Amino acid sequence: MFPVVELNHVAHVYVTDREASLAVNDLQITVSEGEFVSLVGPSGCGKTTILSIIAGLIIPTLGEALIYGNKLEGPSPEVGYMLQQDYLFPWRTIMDNALLGLELTHRITPESVEMTSKLLEEMGLAGKEKFYPPQLSGGMRQRVALVRTLATEPGLLLLDEPFSALDYQTKLQLEDLIVKTLRARDKTAVLVTHDLSEAIAMSDRVILLDANPGTVRRMFEVPDNIRDALPFDARDQAGFQELFHEIWSEMDSTSV
């Protein structure tokens, strides 16, 4: 499979006026085309730093980060980044928020507007185009943020704890919707989550990180029957609990 993301011996040092700290060290991570990978690990282990490196927002201090075989030197249109907070502009309508990425990259055309409308519809947001973000629920706003991310047609999606501000039911519904949407479009995705069952239910592979500095501790392949199911049903699949416990005990042995 063609590698979409390649981190080769990547390390990053944050420098502040008081100190320099090694946030992540010697990262060796490859993500193949169409793969859905989750990053899990203790708070502060460098998950957001890794996504920012892949997004081209941080140039690593050491090593190299490649996207589709090209060395990253800044943000790439191939990469869509969706954050924990929806970051919708309250003064723009839902449609105008959804079109923001296209607008910023000068790609507003009748076709791209039409495609964005279709995406909103697919996400159950038909009829909400002229609403403003405060008039929508948290789950709806995250769906708008997803549409905005998908509208620019990135091959790779980065999702940083996109469900953490949502109630449990909404989160489970959105997990299924995201997986369905990404599978239908053959997208590659990297998800950061603190919810281990979510990581297993959504992914092809789970990468467990250690902290101080952030490094890869172990990778876990998710068995076919679990990855073929949608996240909600994946949790009932044979082997799910065993994998959960295997990763959990590995995490447990690293934390204090």
List of residues contacting ligand ADP (CB under 6 A): 14, 16, 21, 23, 43-49
Q: Which tokens in the block code for residue 240? A: 């799910």
Please report, for residues 43, 57, 214, 222, 235, the alpha-carbon distance to residue 114 in angstroms, rounded to integers and kept in the order given. 40, 30, 42, 37, 36
Q: Does 38 bind Mg ion (CB under 5 A)?
A: no
Cis peptide, bond prior to residue 213, ω within 30 of zero: yes
Choose the stretch contacting Mg ion; rule: CB under 5 A; options: 41-49, 104-112, 180-188, 228-236.
41-49
Rounded to 5°, the CA angle 153-38-120 comes to 35
Give least dist CB 212 to ligand ADP, A: 7
Give least dist CB 217 to Mg ion, A: 17
Nearer to ligand ADP, 65 or 102 (CB): 65
Nearer to Mg ion, 11 or 136 (CB): 11
Question: Residue 60 region, left (φ>0) first, then alpha (ψ -120 to 50), else beta?
Answer: beta
Q: Does 203 bind Mg ion (CB under 5 A)?
A: no
Give yes or no for a contact between 47 and 208, defined as CB atoms under 8 angstroms apart: no
Nearer to ligand ADP, 147 or 198 (CB): 198
Nearer to ligand ADP, 20 or 184 (CB): 20
Q: Which among Mg ion, ligand ADP, none contacts residue 16 (Cβ within 5 to 8 A by kind)?
A: ligand ADP
Q: Which among ligand ADP, Mg ion, none contacts residue 169 (Cβ within 5 to 8 A by kind)?
A: none
Q: Pick the binder of Mg ion from 25, 38, 48, 203 (CB under 5 A).
A: 48
In angstroms, the CA 28 to CA 214 distance is 11
Nearest Cα neighbor of 193 from 57, 44, 41 is 41
